[in-house]
Amino acid sequence: MPWQIFEHSSPNPMMIASAVRPSITEFAGSIGVMFVDYLQQIPLESGGNMAHEVGKITRQIRAIAKEHKIPVFLGCQINRGNQTTADKRPNRHLLRNSGEIFEVCDQLIMLYRDAVYTKDPSDQTIELIVEKNRLYGKLGTATMLCDFSTSRFLNLTR
């Protein structure tokens, strides 16, 4: 599958939409997926309420996904509230600057690596924590292997 990268240090949703359109034309009306790295890098339009602005940007990115019928993976920062608890796993309440992210998204999958906290370099596992799944309904955690050299998730056999 061919890749195209639109690299800009702080694109706004209009720039992202403009970058998607030529790719869709080039690939016969469809692209497989879009990744945005990451939400908090998109500049806010006004000096208003940050949570409201982040929610607005999230809705604009979702509109791009709906218009072009493509899944969008939108990376987001979380607050550091989990750093002070015994269980470091992220949850939806830690989404930085906006509860609207949770409201707008169809699926929310949070990543957790225990090795970040245990400093065990041999631990190659990663947890995919499904906090919201509007389309398919199932919630829960899947533990997988992560091949860091290729950034791929692999099935874990125990």
- pLDDT per residue over 55-96, tens digit each? 899 999 999 999 988 999 999 988 877 778 888 899 888 887
Residues 124-149, mean pLDDT to the nearest whole number: 94
Q: Say if residue 136 is in the same domain as residue 64.
A: no
Contacts 24+ apart (CB under 8 A), 61-69: 61/13, 61/16, 61/36, 62/104, 62/105, 64/13, 64/16, 64/17, 64/20, 64/34, 65/34, 67/17, 68/20, 68/24, 68/30, 68/31, 69/30
Provide the token pair at 143. Answer: 């533990």
Q: Say if residue 147 is in the same domain as residue 131.
A: yes
CA distances from 99 to 24, 93, 108 (A): 31, 7, 12
Whole-number pLDDT of residue 63: 95
Q: Say if residue 45 is in the same domain as residue 11.
A: yes
The answer, yes or no, to whether residue 105 has pLDDT greater than 70, is yes
Provide the token pair at 40. Answer: 């908090």
Q: How does pLDDT run across 11-49, given as a tens digit for each residue?
A: 999 999 998 888 888 887 778 899 998 888 888 877 778
Q: Say if residue 39 is in the same domain as residue 116.
A: no
How many domains does the chain contain in total?
Answer: 2
Q: Among residues 60, 75, 105, which one ends one of the domains?
A: 105
Contacts 24+ apart (CB under 8 A), 109-114: 110/78, 112/88, 113/146, 114/88
> Which residues sit opposite 107 in a β-bridge?
133
CA distances from 48 to 27, 56, 64, 97 (A): 39, 12, 23, 13
Q: Say if residue 70 is in the same domain as residue 111.
A: no
Q: Say if residue 37 is in the same domain as residue 70.
A: yes
Whole-number pLDDT of residue 87: 87
Q: Say if residue 86 is in the same domain as residue 148.
A: no
Q: Say if residue 8 is in the same domain as residue 30.
A: yes
> Which residues sit opposite 152 in a β-bridge?
147
Whole-number pLDDT of residue 95: 83
pLDDT band at 133 (very low <50, low <70, confident <90, very high): very high
Q: Say if residue 149 is in the same domain as residue 89.
A: no
Whole-number pLDDT of residue 158: 63
Q: Which domain holds residue 122?
A: 106-158
| 99 vs 47, more confident | 99
Q: Say if residue 62 is in the same domain as residue 111.
A: no
The answer, yes or no, to whether residue 102 has pLDDT greater than 80, is yes
Q: Among residues 105, 125, 145, which one ends one of the domains?
A: 105
